[in-house]
Amino acid sequence: MATRVIIVRHGQSSYNAQQKIQGRSDGSVLTEKGRLDAEKVGEALKSIEIAALYCSPLQRAKSTAEVIQSKLDNPPALQPTDRLLEIDLPIWENMVKEEVKAGFPREYRDWHDRPHEFKMILADGSEHYPVLSLYEQAKEFWQDVIPRHQGQTILIVAHNGINRCLLLSAIGIPVSRYHSIQQSNCCINVLNFTGDFGDPVQVESLNQTAHLGIPLPPPRPPFHGTRLLLVRHGETQWNRDKRFQGIRDIPLNENGKAQALQAAKFLKETAIDNAVTSPLSRPKETAEIILQYHPNVTLDNRVDLTEICHGLWEGMLEEEIESNFPGMLHEWKVAPETVQMPEGENLQQVWDRAIACWEEIVETYSAGDGPKTVMVVAHDAINKVILCYLLGLKPANFWYIKQGNGAVSVIDYPKGAGSTPVIQAINITYHLGAGILDKTAAGAL
């Protein structure tokens, strides 16, 4: 049984509002907005059975945890731990960000461009590597905590930097990607550990903010680039039945149409400039339902966004596949990169065409001036591959990413094509009415 880990960033602090560097300084306190948002997190989590609640001892995180704890139906004891302290930036703490940029231009550039190489020279002449140290701290936390909570749900309330390192180290993403994921104040992340630290971990969701009344996390300012909304199609009956569909053109079922309509309402107020879909009917119909609120947007079909071809598996249930192709289904689940679908594709082929298509979409729709938002509606395997690629993962990590029917993920290219993407959110399903957990059908691809 998986160990579910819910990770929350603290609410807005006084230093956040003042654009000051916090680090391990404990002079920053929750603002009124931060406290109100913490209450919303507590309401979103209140009915979930949480076995343990860990937090940073710094007051902005500890206060957030206390507010959340007060809202839970069966609150566990609060366990502050130094292993959840924020990144240590002793030279910059308490300074306004603009002062840091002006006073430490080279170091600030390294901080953003090469976080794994960023260092500070301390007063005693020693070298301090803040991000590398924080990454090791996160690993130590996991090594200590995960073995103690097998099969349980635990809650962590901490900070922007340590949360990023917790997520990166759990999934096996290199620390150089530190700035590639976003953590908004009072966001919610959900990870599912399949075993101990070092075993595969599924990202159920990243940086959810809809529980705060913010449907999509806002881009990091200043933003002049391209935002992509990666959507999985609504449910089909074959999804519901756990029947492998692949390139079979299976339409949405009634629940799938309802999910698409919920996604449409969720994105109704989002300005969508362009939209792209796989040509199969299930993503195409999903896109068309969403675009009813964006009537001036033309829908572009891209054949390379078509779902993985399962070949002879298509139309079969798992037990039928095991009967006809003994052992292959197990290999698909534990080592997906090694499987050649009989008379179908392998994962590398899907990876190559999906990534080439994604890069072409980014390039095409980043042309011109001003920020743009592009919606891409595709399939489970296609979306998983794209998100793995953007996170610096490999085909072997295919199952690390969850994509629910009707889910929305958000990827920003701050300066358009060619700039380093920022994964703003993964697998938002809050609009489907089940809260912060993904409860869509766990069907076949």
Average pLDDT over residues 282-304: 97
Over 90: is that where the pLDDT of 92 sits? yes
Q: Mind listing the pLDDT tens digit for each residue in 353-364? A: 999 999 999 999
Distances (CA, A) of 150 to 144, 147, 193, 197, 333: 12, 6, 9, 11, 21
Beta strands in 72-138 (DSSP E): 78-80, 120-121, 127-128
Low-confidence winner among 66-70, 82-86, 238-242, 413-417 (lowest mean pLDDT) = 413-417
pLDDT at 367: 83
Beta-bridge partner residues of 300? 276
233 is catalytic: yes
- What is the percentage of the chain residues whose pLDDT exceeds 90? 94
Over 70: is that where the pLDDT of 31 sits? yes
Average pLDDT over residues 359-373: 91
Over 90: is that where the pLDDT of 251 sits? yes
Q: Mind listing the pLDDT tens digit for each residue in 327-347? A: 999 999 999 999 999 999 999
How far apart CA 247 and CA 249 sit, in angstroms, is: 6
- What is the percentage of the chain residues whose pLDDT exceeds 70? 99
Q: Mind listing the pLDDT tens digit for each residue in 259-284? A: 999 999 999 999 999 999 999 999 99
* Catalytic-role residue among 10, 233, 310, 379: 233
For residue 369, name the pLDDT band (cuts at 50, 70, 90): confident
Average pLDDT over residues 117-138: 96
Ramachandran angles phi, psi of 77, nearest 5°: -65, 150
* More confidently predicted of 445 and 187: 187
How far apart CA 356 and CA 305 sit, in angstroms, is: 10
Average pLDDT over residues 366-389: 94
Average pLDDT over residues 384-407: 97
Over 90: is that where the pLDDT of 222 sits? no
Angle (CA) 9 266 223, round 5°: 60
* Catalytic-role residue among 93, 204, 285, 307: 307
Average pLDDT over residues 42-47: 98
Distances (CA, A) of 10 to 69, 253, 415: 13, 40, 28
224 is catalytic: no
Average pLDDT over residues 288-296: 97
Provide the residue type at 239 as one letter: N
Q: Is the dihedral of CA 246, 252, 258, 262 positive or negative?
A: positive
Over 80: is that where the pLDDT of 1 sits? no
For residue 205, name the pLDDT band (cuts at 50, 70, 90): very high
Tokens of 339: 């499987």
Average pLDDT over residues 11-30: 96
Over 90: is that where the pLDDT of 416 sits? no
Quickly list H helices, 172-231. Answer: none
pLDDT at 224: 86
Closest CA to 259 of 282, 277, 280, 281: 282
Average pLDDT over residues 74-101: 96
Over 90: is that where the pLDDT of 444 sits? no
Say if residues 371 and 225 touch (Cβ distance below 8 Å). yes
Low-confidence winner among 6-20, 122-136, 196-210, 364-378 (lowest mean pLDDT) = 364-378
- Specify binding-site residues for substrate: 232-239, 282
Over 70: is that where the pLDDT of 443 sits? no
Over 90: is that where the pLDDT of 134 sits? yes
- Specify binding-site residues: 232-239, 282
Q: Which residue's entry shows tokens 């979306």?
A: 383
